[in-house]
Structure 1
Amino acid sequence: MAAPVIPSSFQIYNSYVVDPQWQINFTIIWCSGLALAVAVSVPTLILGLRHGRSLKGITGISETNGYQSAHSDGKEPPPTRRRGRRLIGAWNALISPMYWSPPKLGLSLGQIIVVSAYLAAVLVCIIKDAPLISNPNRAGFLALAQFPVVFLFATKNSILSLLLGPGNGYEKLNFMHRMAGRAMFLGGCIHGSLWIRNHLQYGLPILGPQKETSGVASMALLGIIVLTSLRPVRRLFYECFFVIHVLTYVAFFVTICYHTLYASPWIFPPLAFYGADVLLRLFRYRIKDATLTAHDAHMTLIRVHNCDDGWLAGQHIRLRVFFSNRVFESHALTILSAPPSHSCLSSPGLLLAARSNGDWTRALNSYTRKEQERLQINEKSEGDSGAFVQVMLDGPYGGSSVDLGLYESVFLIAGGSGITFTIGLLDDIVGRCIKLGRSQGERTRRIEFTWCIGSFGQIEWFAPMLIDIATAASNSTIDLHISIFVTCLCNPEAVPHIPNSIVTLSRPSVQDLLKDFVSLSSSSEKEGSIEISCDESQTSLHSGGGVAVCASGPESLTRDVQNAVAGLGLTNNMDVGGIALHTEQFTL
């Protein structure tokens, strides 16, 4: 005769048996979502592997001792496959609303949906059939289950970035790292506050026993991590934030293991992710000689010697310059040139630019100008003259998720120092079409390059590079037009002559610029604007070849570009063969 079964309503809730199952359920949920994202990215990954973009730079910057010489862009781009372009247009039209970004949040609609779904999964797994008031362990178990997500989306060298294809580096995935950390904090607060309530209700000590003391310490450390990770703290006190972040998460690991034996299984995946990241960084570290040149008090150019390959246009590196007492600081700088094998610059190589915005960049600029004065070097000189230093490179990372060569029309727009990203893309696509002879089937015919700046003097920072690229494009089948918008009337006579360029004193409407580019209508002169025109040419857009849009700069600019692309809708996407978008905004 079978033993009687106790009704579920009279069974004692055993959190140490039930709650770990909810950890597994939550892990299955986020792993399934991740698998779906990887599956959607498979075509991009395959295309990147075929063109050598996906694995480029995985072992760091390299030295090849030589590069190909330039030759004429004699042949026409390959014909566009209309059926394929219609499919791409339909797909881009489907996902284009996901680019829409509301003010202040710093997230697109697609990211908001992902974050909302993630938080919903966390809350459901915490609340579902859990007696949280009497036994709030479920929230603590779910807080532990955040560990793998936090570290998977935080490490710079992540297998996830590789699987998602080019342009999906850690800086693009970091929003999920922050959200998982806050979900961990939420679960920890629910778990800790309700247990403190129960201890007060039944007169039990909150501090004293190891479990309670280590639990309070863990909750305090987690609060410090979250509060010091808020955007204002990161921006104003980044070095302090970084040190506190590292020290507190190590201490948190120790205290949480003292608090509960159930933490140890969730500690090992983060350690594996972090260990793999450190190991891969060892392959990417390089110590090189470099030359610093300061054109003025606001911009420092850095030319790193003996670097010929190992990066893609638009990628960035972590740079450490050995000068003064700043040897322990590293900062992210975008590579503003294509590899010498197809760069259009008269002096190709690995070039970086650091605008004087923070303490480190101001100190670097001041050191460079003092060294130039000491060596009696003219600040306007070109070539390799300048202050010689040694630097450490870590990278490259990131890059553009859009391969510009797959599109007949390219729209590049930058604000301020964001040009370091777009000028690298411009140098790359023009060089691939001219110096490499469209060897990978590049279809690009027309390029609109737009730069928004605050003063005319800033044009001098990158004028030599723009002149080199524009001169190379003028001798080819590529139609390149450069538009520079200046918001302050300072010294218009100082504007250098750049082929096929126009400098306008106005603040542009990104939506109007993009609509005009897509619809083939020429940009009309705005009322009350002052235009300084160089050589201007009229071109036609080959309909159906697709449009690639890349933007870099302050959040307001990238948000406007995202909203403009999202607002173009199904008809425009289908007509032009698809509008692809990549925005770059490297923020702390």
Structure 2
Amino acid sequence: MGLIWLKHPVLWHSSRVPSGYDYTAMTDAQKLLIVTRWHNWYTADWDYGQTTLAFFCAAILAAALLNGAAWIRARKGGTMISDSGNNLKKPGPTDKLTAALRYTTARQWRLRATRWYAPPLAAVLGVAGMCVFVMALLLGARPFYWPNEAMGHSPPIATRAGWISIAIMPFMIAFATKINFVALLTGTSHEKLQVFHRWSAVFMYITSLVHTFPFIINDIMMGEMVSQYKLSPWYWTGVAALVPQTYLIALSWGVFRNPYYEIFKKLHFIASGIFMAALFIHVNFRLTSWDYFWATLALYVLAWLARVGRTLYTTRLGLPATLTSVGPDLVRLSVCVPAGRMKWAPGQHVFVRALGLGVHALTSHPFTISSLHSGEGKEEAELELVMRVHGGLTHALARRVAGKAAWATRVVVDGPYGGLHVPLQAYERVYLLAGGSGATFTLPIFANLAATLKAGGVSCQRIEFVVAVPDGDNYAWMEPAVTAAAAQLPDTAVGVRVHYTRIEEPTKGSESDASVDALRGRPVLGDIVREAHASARKVAIVACGPDEFLYDVRSAVAESQLVIADGFGTCKDMFLHTETYSW
């Protein structure tokens, strides 16, 4: 039988010359309709596919321009700020517009009963815009079905849905990669683009269904359903693509994905491969359909090769690492990285694969780097990761070091990724807020910023480091680094507050340190944000912690952004960056 779907010689595009129409059975109006824009089957890829491409490209360009504007705005305050002149004025039009935009990135909703936290308003608006565009393009032109069988076998709504679906595909994949070209343009870390990966996949699935069912309805009305299903390879290839696509969409929701993430990830790749192969055969070489596959393949392969190439260069067959226990349900992994192979900035994270852990060596997990890069003039740098023990990899690591002083292993490190894209030293005051092991994110930022302030010549005048931990044992691992960073600056330039949330337990360590305020009970994050808002003209808030912790910070920052947008107060610029434990 051979490859009945593949022409010989291979054709990359099908002809645009209309054929197969019975013009004698059509009215003059119908003859005109089938060759007009938005109705012509032979230009549908231009009308719908390229329009979809233009929409996504325009949205990414707009996000890139906003990111560039934020980058420039932050660096305008990179030198010491004078206490006179325009800096003492109320927020201006640019400040108000910036605050209004930042309100959308801070505002978040939750369903307390189910402990579900929505993405920020900006992401919700982005997804809503995607939905409005897809639905308008899909449903805008009429008719949905041809009034005359002689006008073609493909219903207009099915044709346009197919092209919209396939044009979404390259962007859906681009949003999912770790080395992410969209992230490079927009300054958004790859994990925060996952919401767009998931929702673009949902809209691709919706348009796939709209593409499928009109053909079934049309063939039933024409009495050709059985014969088409038996004789046409496009029916079974369509079904072969739709089944794994349904699986991918249904089981990608958090309730199914999160409890068994490693199994989900591997099955996700397998199902994606089957889906892409079946879809490639299904679309054949109609018009420019295969061009979208080449674009998707190029985006994915380039990202994959860059990631694998960098990982091989950095770690080769694995880097030596030492695992130690540093507190209740806390372990520290110290990795020796040869000088020059890898550099990282405060707040970045890496994916770690620990060799010698049996089945867990097949999995990699993201962890925030809790140490500063200090490899200049040395043969190697030490990369430290402090991990909270849960299940899976961290539980296996905790078992290895249980009852031992340390455990030596080798690890493969993929990264670094993420981090801050705005210089914090450009802000007069910086508040670093951490919940529990979220300090692994804020601590290196604190140490780096303290060293920068000590050197002088920057706008930043004071740093507030606030951390909430259950007890003194959970603070002990970070205490030396916090004390060392704070010791570089006078009391007027730094403040450290440690909140012990288990009030019945005694505090340890920090009570003997006069530079640290040891407090009992959970921090009132809203009050801290309002304090930050009233403290200076330019304020940066960086937070990392559980979802509830970040929700309180986001809500308070959103309120402050509205105050700035209304033109009240002296604060003109409040920057927020948040990191969560997982995505």
Pick aligned residue for 2:540 from 541, 548, 554:
548
What whole-Å deviation, never above 9, does each CA across 1:129-171 have from its counterpart, x for those lacking one?
A: 1443561222122111111110221111123222224xx2211
Q: 1:351-390, aligned counterparts within 5 Å? A: 351-370=384-403, 372=404, 377=405, 386-390=406-410
2:365 paired residue number: 331
Give the TM-score taking structure 1 as reference length.
Answer: 0.80
- Cα separation, 1, equivalents of 2:524 and 2:513: 23
Structure-2 change in CA distance of 1:306 and 1:253 (3 Å) = closer
Secondary structure class of the residue paired with 2:478: helix
Structure-2 change in CA distance of 1:498 and 1:150 (3 Å) = farther
- Cα separation, 1, equivalents of 2:336 and 2:126: 42
- 2:133 maps to 1:100: no
Given that 2:324 and 2:332 are in contact with CA atoms closer than 8 Å, whether structure 1 keeps it comes out as yes
- Cα separation, 2, equivalents of 1:452 and 1:504: 9
- 2:571 maps to 1:557: no
Q: CA deviation at 1:251?
A: 1.1
Secondary structure class of the residue paired with 1:444: coil
Q: Pairwise CA RMSD of aligned residues?
A: 3.0
- 2:351 maps to 1:318: yes
- Cα separation, 1, equivalents of 2:385 and 2:215: 53
2:579 paired residue number: 584
Identity of aligned residues (%): 24
Pick aligned residue for 1:304 from 335, 338, 343:
335
Give the aligned residue type for 1:580.
Answer: F
What whole-Å deviation, never above 9, does each CA across 1:214-268 have from its counterpart, x for those lacking one?
A: 1111111111111221112221111111111111111111101211224412111
Pick aligned residue for 1:146 from 160, 168, 177:
168
Given that 2:327 and 2:473 are in contact with CA atoms closer than 8 Å, whether structure 1 keeps it comes out as no
Structure-2 change in CA distance of 1:572 and 1:388 (3 Å) = farther
- 2:392 maps to 1:397: no
Q: CA deviation at 1:572?
A: 7.4
What whole-Å deviation, never above 9, does each CA across 1:533-561 have from its counterpart, x for those lacking one?
A: xxxxxxxxxx43x1001111112221221
Q: CA deviation at 1:492?
A: 0.8
Given that 1:322 and 1:390 are in contact with CA atoms closer than 8 Å, whether structure 2 keeps it comes out as yes
Figure out how many residues of one structure are paired with residues of the other and give that number: 514
- 2:159 maps to 1:137: yes
- Cα separation, 1, equivalents of 2:548 and 2:505: 26
- Cα separation, 1, equivalents of 2:257 and 2:393: 15
1:411 paired residue number: 431
What whole-Å deviation, never above 9, does each CA across 1:76-109 have from its counterpart, x for those lacking one?
A: 9564786479566434323232121111352111
Secondary structure class of the residue paired with 2:337: coil
Q: CA deviation at 1:471?
A: 2.2
Q: 1:191-230, aligned counterparts within 5 Å? A: 191-201=211-221, 202=223, 204-205=225-226, 207-208=229-230, 209-230=232-253
Structure-2 change in CA distance of 1:132 and 1:454 (3 Å) = farther
What whole-Å deviation, never above 9, does each CA across 1:344-401 have from its counterpart, x for those lacking one?
A: xxx983211111112210111111225x2xxxx3xxxxxxxx3221111111100123
Secondary structure class of the residue paired with 1:246: helix
Q: CA deviation at 1:29?
A: 1.8
Given that 2:533 and 2:574 are in contact with CA atoms closer than 8 Å, whether structure 1 keeps it comes out as no
Give the aligned residue type for 1:158.
Answer: N
1:244 paired residue number: 267
Q: CA deviation at 1:10?
A: 6.9
Given that 1:457 and 1:491 are in contact with CA atoms closer than 8 Å, whether structure 2 keeps it comes out as no
Structure-2 change in CA distance of 1:79 and 1:51 (3 Å) = closer
Q: 1:560-575, aligned counterparts within 5 Å? A: 560-568=552-560, 569-570=563-564, 575=570
1:125 paired residue number: 137
Residue segments in structure 2 that go unaligned for 5+ positions in a row: 1-25, 111-115, 147-154
1:279 paired residue number: 305
2:60 paired residue number: 34
Name which structure has the greater RCO, CA cutoff 8 Å, separation 6+.
1
1:65 paired residue number: none
- Cα separation, 1, equivalents of 2:569 and 2:85: 11
- Cα separation, 2, equivalents of 1:349 and 1:258: 49
Q: CA deviation at 1:478?
A: 5.9
Q: CA deviation at 1:494?
A: 3.1
Structure-2 change in CA distance of 1:37 and 1:199 (3 Å) = same
Given that 2:427 and 2:539 are in contact with CA atoms closer than 8 Å, whether structure 1 keeps it comes out as yes
Given that 2:428 and 2:461 are in contact with CA atoms closer than 8 Å, whether structure 1 keeps it comes out as yes
Given that 2:336 and 2:382 are in contact with CA atoms closer than 8 Å, whether structure 1 keeps it comes out as yes
Structure-2 change in CA distance of 1:312 and 1:333 (3 Å) = same
- 2:461 maps to 1:445: yes
- Cα separation, 2, equivalents of 1:232 and 1:105: 13
Q: CA deviation at 1:179?
A: 1.2
- Cα separation, 1, equivalents of 2:77 and 2:103: 29
Secondary structure class of the residue paired with 2:384: strand
Give the aligned residue type for 1:334.
Answer: T
Pick aligned residue for 2:443 from 414, 420, 423:
423
Given that 1:414 and 1:451 are in contact with CA atoms closer than 8 Å, whether structure 2 keeps it comes out as yes
Structure-2 change in CA distance of 1:505 and 1:478 (3 Å) = closer
Structure-2 change in CA distance of 1:515 and 1:444 (3 Å) = same
1:500 paired residue number: 515
Residue segments in structure 1 that go unaligned for 5+ positions in a row: 53-75, 378-385, 521-542
Given that 1:470 and 1:499 are in contact with CA atoms closer than 8 Å, whether structure 2 keeps it comes out as no
Pick aligned residue for 1:156 from 178, 186, 193:
178
Given that 1:456 and 1:489 are in contact with CA atoms closer than 8 Å, whether structure 2 keeps it comes out as no
Structure-2 change in CA distance of 1:200 and 1:458 (3 Å) = farther
Pick aligned residue for 1:175 from 191, 195, 202:
195
